[in-house]
Amino acid sequence: MTQTLDIAGELLDLLATTATEPRANDQLEALTLAVAADLPVLLWGEPGIGKTAALTQLADSLDLPLTTVIASVHEPTDFSGLPVIGADPAVHGVPMAPPDWAVRLVRAGRGLLFLDELSTAPPAVQAALLRLVLERRVGALRLPPEVRIVAAANPRASAADGWELSAPLANRFVHLQWTFDHDVVLRGLGGTWPHTVLPRLDPAGLPDAVAYARRAVCGLLTARGSLVHQLPTTETRRGGPWPSPRTWEMAIRLIAFGTAAGASRDVLSLLVRGVVGDGPGLELLAHMDRMELPDPEDLLAAPGEAVLPDRGDLRQAVLDGVVAAVRQRPERERWDAAWAVLVRALETGAPDLVVVPATTLAKLRRDGWPVPPEIEGLAGAVSISRKAVAA
């Protein structure tokens, strides 16, 4: 029997031995960026989809000891601390003794705290978690700065005796929807899983990244003040990401980290929408796109050197901005330069994007302004020469 168990152990060791490989994965990159930014992360996904495995692999990749706490099987005092009466409580008070897992984290000085099954934790436990998630305090202990917090939850429909997340607790997390990639699962079952690394931040670009993030969020909220705080009306939506001053501050941190790390737009989208929600998050991303558009005045000053965005919606916005600039200060040289920009757009992109701005620009012609030769170059795409002459 002993020999059989030893052989079985060898077989189990072989099955547990896997390799890792670098692989582009937006989910993992978003998770790693949020962990690097020292923000609590909540992974939402169906049971058995690999949330726990992802956290285990993340802890191994970052060389952080993993401490797993099943939130639903703990009492509120396990997070707020258990009162312990001392020799003279009237003088010294009643200290709140922390649980052993918190003591181990403090002794280690670093680690990854994994709060699993968060959606099955009753309201009283969720309330006790508020201070842990926001202030990193457990009873009388404060967790070291090198401790990161990641939680996982199943949607209420697939959770055992699940509860909706309370609005105060939900508003403290970066919410990431965790799904599986078919190819990643197949490679992993074959013995090779994707490898996670901390993002490489460019030291020289840190001040610019912070300035850009603050300008992006403040610019949007200046124009859309109603987005500063929007508490959802339904219990289900309150348990997810929604905009508040706290989550906008989290968005600034995530954008700064993402910018400094050169993260893709898809990764930034996951992170931003994970703190302020889909609607406000998409508005912020659109505002960030507009921030990066070229200045219409620069294009009018050097139309032959115009570099226009590849994305159709952004290109349309740039051309509309050029026409709007001419309308605001109509001068013949500026009008001619705008036609040169439109020709440049026609040469480098889809002709249908030129139709509306060209028609509008033609109507801005003043008496005595000759029709520029650039209009003839646009005749194949839009029929505007006649409108310009008749204007």
Mind listing the pLDDT tens digit for each residue in 315-335? 888 999 999 999 999 999 999
Average pLDDT over residues 98-126: 89
CB atoms within 10 A of CB 163: 19
Say how far apart CA 316 and CA 322 lie, in whole Å. 10
> What is the per-residue pLDDT for 377?
64
> What is the per-residue pLDDT for 227?
95
Instruction: Place 160 in a pLDDT band, splitting at 50, 70 and 90.
Output: low
Instruction: Place 389 in a pLDDT band, splitting at 50, 70 and 90.
Output: very low
Instruction: Place 371 in a pLDDT band, splitting at 50, 70 and 90.
Output: confident
Nearest to 198 by CA among 146, 134, 251, 137: 146
> What is the per-residue pLDDT for 254?
97
For tokens 């919410």, what's the residue?
175
> What is the per-residue pLDDT for 86?
63
Average pLDDT over residues 116-120: 87
Tell whether the model's pLDDT for residue 376 goes beyond 70.
Answer: no
Helical ranges in 224-244 per DSSP H: 235-238
We find that the CATH architecture of domain 2-83+96-195 is 3-Layer(aba) Sandwich (3.40)
> What is the per-residue pLDDT for 384?
46
Task: Determine contact, residues 293/318, Cβ cutoff 8 Å.
Answer: yes
Assign residue 357 a region (left: φ > 0; alpha: ψ between -120 and 50; beta: otherwise).
Answer: alpha
> What is the per-residue pLDDT for 159?
55
Say how far apart CA 34 and CA 43 lie, in whole Å. 12
Of the given ranges (137-141, 145-149, 156-160, 208-212), which has the lowest mean pLDDT?
156-160
Say how far apart CA 62 and CA 65 lie, in whole Å. 9
> What is the per-residue pLDDT for 94?
65
> Please, what is the average pLDDT of the chain?
86
For tokens 């909220």, what's the residue?
221
> What is the per-residue pLDDT for 388?
45
Instruction: Place 277 in a pLDDT band, splitting at 50, 70 and 90.
Output: very high
Using a 10 angstrom Cβ sphere, with 0-12 exposed, 13-18 middle and 19 or more buried, the burial of residue 326 is buried
> What is the per-residue pLDDT for 329?
92
Instruction: Place 385 in a pLDDT band, splitting at 50, 70 and 90.
Output: very low
> What is the per-residue pLDDT for 85?
67
SS (H, E, C) 117-157: CHHHCCHHHHHHHHHHHHHCEECCEECCCCEEEEEEECCHH
Tell whether the model's pLDDT for residue 383 goes beyond 60.
Answer: no
Instruction: Place 373 in a pLDDT band, splitting at 50, 70 and 90.
Output: confident
Of the given ranges (203-217, 297-311, 364-378), which has the lowest mean pLDDT?
364-378
Of the given ranges (1-15, 71-85, 126-140, 144-158), which has the lowest mean pLDDT?
71-85
Backbone φ and ψ of 202, nearest 5°: -80, 110
Which one has a higher pLDDT value, 166 or 80?
A: 166
> What is the per-residue pLDDT for 181?
80
> What is the per-residue pLDDT for 90?
59
| Statement: the pTM of the whole predicted model exceeds 0.85 | no
| Token couple for 100 | 């052993």
Mind listing the pLDDT tens digit for each residue in 58-80? 888 788 899 999 988 888 888 87
Say how far apart CA 246 and CA 254 lie, in whole Å. 13
